[in-house]
Chains A and B, each alone.
Chain A
Amino acid sequence: MNASLIDPALLAQDCPEALTGSLRSGHSTCIRFSHRGDLLASGRFDGTVVLFDLETNGLARKLRGHTAQIQSLSWSSDDRYLLSSSQDCKAILWDLKDGSRVRTVRFEAPVFIADLHPKNHLLFVAALFEEQPVLVDISTPDPVKQVLTSAPHRSQIERDNQTEKQAAQDAKQTTTVIIFSASGAHIIAGTNKGWVNIIDPNTCQNLYSVRLTTGVVILIRLTASGKDMVVNSSDRIIRTIPLRNLSSPELDFHNFKLEVEHKFQDLVNRLSWNCISFSSTGEYLAASTWMNHDIYVWERGHGSLVKILEGPKEELSIIDWHPHRPAVAAVGVDTGRVYMWSILTPQRWSALAPDFVEIEENLEYIEREDEFDIQPPEELHKRRLDLEDEEVDVLTIEPMKNEHEPGQFLMPVLLDVQNSDSEDDIVAVGTGQFRRKTPGQEWLDDSQVPGSGDEARRQTNGASSSAQPGPKRKR
């Protein structure tokens, strides 16, 4: 509702311009904005997943369950569920209503990436380290895993002429990145030999393959609309590929072709790219760079570099563009801090007094005809009241974009999120002054679960520590 009061020039800006803040809880290795953009999930080196509230820049929840570095995070479309995958060979689906684990899925190998189906939060795909990717149905407590292929799709003629060596090579390929298309009707996967496969999740058949590069496909991401795809690969080139016809019903994979629209690279410095992200509309593309402190932003229409966002004095790894604001978040490799770039909003001084106007140059003031007339106050007052004859509507609510609607999932506000974490026991009490946090008594009653649901369950089962009265000290 603030849009009507904000300088339109600021509203028109769609690309971040400066480092505006940072968030920290442990050493972050992976971040992802929620679809509504009010939360940022951050996976940590120690396996904890934390949620930052972007309105308060404070911690909103901690989810403990993984024991090794978090590799990927994926939100359900209603922002109620979060899928995390980790190097500890597990993927966990979290219910953010109470912080409990809906499902824990174990794999044979560390997980590269796990991506939730856009419409069904009980279905996901995962790419595994040196294993074939899997499609996992977790609608039942026992997860059903279906192995997908990494071998490229070959036409009949190709198959007939295939040499043994080629066949062996095809079989040796592994998938390094796998995601669902925006409709969920297809799976898009990238392999370690530079192939991109389109797989049907129903039949698990590879429908189409194209070799984009000879290097490893590092990351594939889509725009919010799902109409464009961007591929980062180890050959130091970022490719954007339109997917416009992927969702059409009369899609025929015999005539289907993925064509590269733009290739972004730095020919001078030969930079390689750590991570890439589309802007909310897909108009811009941001990339963090290897061994470099900057974020490169390209404009996709012309394929030109529009901005280099200067960062902190450290290399940046995972990067994500806010779903509807001109803001970018990125993780610092050395400190594990999450940095935020956004637009700068200077204070308009005319807002502080209604009779101030911001003018470009001096104007001669022309007084109103009756400006200095002396009138009886009753007269003035009466006239003022008489002017108030417009109709006002104080009730009708106009629906707005990106607004929380009643009935939508809203994460409960927990009051003791920061408790019981060694690092966050230190609280800032002033500039440069810190003190250890005083542990307080259990304030929430049993129906409100602290931290994660698992912890609460453990507490009730064990009935050891939580039964003690008085303050608990963690270390």
Chain B
Amino acid sequence: MAVVEAPKPSEESNTKTSSQPNTITLRIARSNPSEGQEPSFSEFQIPVQKWTTVLEAILYVKQNFDHSVAVRYSCRQASCGSCGMKINGRPALACYTKVSELNSNVITVEPMNNFPIIRDLAVDFKQLISNHKKMKPFIIREDSEVTPESKEFIQTPQDLEKFLQFSYCIKCGLCNSACPTMATDTSFIGPQGLAQAYRYVADNRDKGKDDRLKIVDDSHGIWRCHFAGSCSQVCPKGVDPAMAIQLLRGYLLGFRK
């Protein structure tokens, strides 16, 4: 286990900044399953401000101590869904989690559960993307609004509200990582895929409801959800997959038409 300390900030730089940096211990899970490397933790002492995010802390490590730490990130503003990881035991976006809100001087970052590890904090999204595609995430209907002779499909604000929330999914995978069914069932579609099925079923422009209901009405489909609500607890965009799944099940149980 490597322990690396940050260089002390000089007196000059201290006088220039209004907020004094605290030092925290960042523990980063290290592993490389393809090379047979056993999981371990590397520890780094790093300075943080009250607005420092966990992603910035990891990038500080990469810039100053160990550039070999593998982490996936892109937008740094909770829009791309790349930097999902387990932060102090709970799935969260690293760019959307401030170190100060964790109320701990020791921060442990690990790869998300229920996803195969590529290396360190980077996980494989193959299953999530494949399940997402399985839900046919597009409007299904025979006519089109892009042909010259047709008009756009009219929707009222009320129609829009029925699915808008679920279209904010950024496919970060946090919901799948928190789901207790995903923890044990390797073939479960997962809350992300099921919520996306509902997003299109609830869209009044779509005519593919029966197709999608047939896909989710499977032994590893919607019936495996037991409404533990953990997916909605960790969703960083307010998508609320637990609600989408229960509403989708309402169609199969005949509560909804």
Same assembly: no
**B residues touching A (Cβ–Cβ < 8 Å)?**
none
**A residues touching B (Cβ–Cβ < 8 Å)?**
none
